Amino acid sequence: MTERDTHRVIPLQDLRTSALPLPTASLMPSGAVEPNGLLTDLFSRALRDLRISVTDRCNFRCSYCMPKAIFDKDYAYLPHSELLNFEEITRLARQFVAHGVQKIRLTGGEPLLRKNLEQLIAQLAALRTPEGRPLDLTLTTNGALLARKAAALKAAGLQRITVSLDGLDDAVFRAMNDVDFPVADVLAGIDAALAAGLGPIKINMVVKRGTNEHQILPMARHFRGSGMVLRLIEYMDVGATNGWRMNDVLPSREVVQRIHADMPLVQLEPSNPGETAQRWGYADAQGRHDTAAGEIGVISSVTQAFCADCNRARLSTEGQLYLCLFAEQGYDLRRLLRGNSSDADLASAIGRIWHARTDRYSALRSAAAPDTGTGARRVEMSYIGG
């Protein structure tokens, strides 16, 4: 860390208390928007994926997400009364599913810090798509509490899990989480998730140039052939607290080149429409995908925008709906929930919001000069999840 970084002061604008007005019926051809599973936005992008943040708290202080200089002991977290309760979350989720959502991911902060989370998982697991199919229900965690909770999460109905892990070297990992948490405990949590049947497991590694890039090959070697998918993510300009600079970004193409030079890779087709990760399989001696060795994914959210087919919405822990990870403001659905609105009212509001959506931050950023962290304040990743 340089002297400049040590003394850097980042003004934090709290976006949690401000919200955009809910779209009115004038934005749609008719007043009510009845869900039919086919909701699209102004760029014909369907709504398929909902990320739900269940807490704004985390037990790590990763510099790229919740730096300790900002999220210290005096930081004002949301009071419990402002958080959506599990019944409110499930009621909203039911309307999103009616509009076409097929996958729900629980995030945070650190979602395993939310008390009795298994109750919410059981409620969400009971939801069905208009075709009668269960949801793809998954969760992203830092793994610190996973060893003790994995079996209960599976029993409640959670299907899959993604674990954030930024390196295998214990000193690097402790420095990045900034609370001196040992990597061995996260690996034990991953083992517990495997034993519980929470798979296939994905491992998310945020790569920051000059910090943990030397962990790319050890991570690739460790998870090769494990049945788990390592996903390497470009360090993103989310929010305002992480002091993001383009110089800190290691482009995904360089990540692929480094792994390919050590363990040959072959590019694979996307697994699903709107998939954020570009897939690469480990190659066999004939240059074909060795399915036993598995694959990696790279998420190029800075250098290769994937806005064109983005199908994700994000619901914050106190009920604001965000249409982009890089959004400046959300829409206050909690006001409708606690204002005695009907399910039809909720469905119509969600329909109007998504129908009017034009968000494509990464594509616009890619077409312009690289962002240097100036300009409008964006919502923090710790608030709406990654």
The pLDDT tens digits for 107-160 are 999 999 999 999 999 999 999 999 999 999 999 999 999 999 999 999 999 999
pLDDT for the residue numbered 195? 97
Burial class of residue 261, CB neighbours in 10 A (0-12, 13-18, 19+): exposed
pLDDT at 241 over 80: no
Distance CA 333, CA 112 (A): 24
| Residue 371 or residue 3, greater confidence | 371
pLDDT for the residue numbered 141? 98
- H helix intervals, the chain: 3-6, 86-99, 117-125, 146-156, 170-177, 183-196, 216-223, 252-262, 334-337, 343-355, 361-367, 381-384
CA-closest candidate to residue 179, choices 69, 73, 60, 58: 60
Distance CA 367, CA 319 (A): 32
User: In the CATH scheme, what architecture does the domain 12-384 have?
Assistant: Alpha-Beta Barrel (3.20)
| Residue 75 or residue 30, greater confidence | 75
pLDDT band at 232 (very low <50, low <70, confident <90, very high): very high
pLDDT for the residue numbered 359? 82
pLDDT for the residue numbered 33? 87
pLDDT at 170 over 90: yes
pLDDT band at 98 (very low <50, low <70, confident <90, very high): very high
pLDDT at 30 over 50: no
Distance CA 58, CA 113 (A): 7
pLDDT for the residue numbered 242? 56
Average pLDDT over residues 238-249: 69
pLDDT at 350 over 50: yes
pLDDT for the residue numbered 4? 37
pLDDT at 374 over 60: no
The pLDDT tens digits for 256-314 are 999 999 999 999 998 877 678 899 999 999 999 999 999 999 998 787 767 888 999 99
pLDDT at 6 over 60: no
pLDDT for the residue numbered 9? 36
Tokens (6 digits) for 18: 């401000």
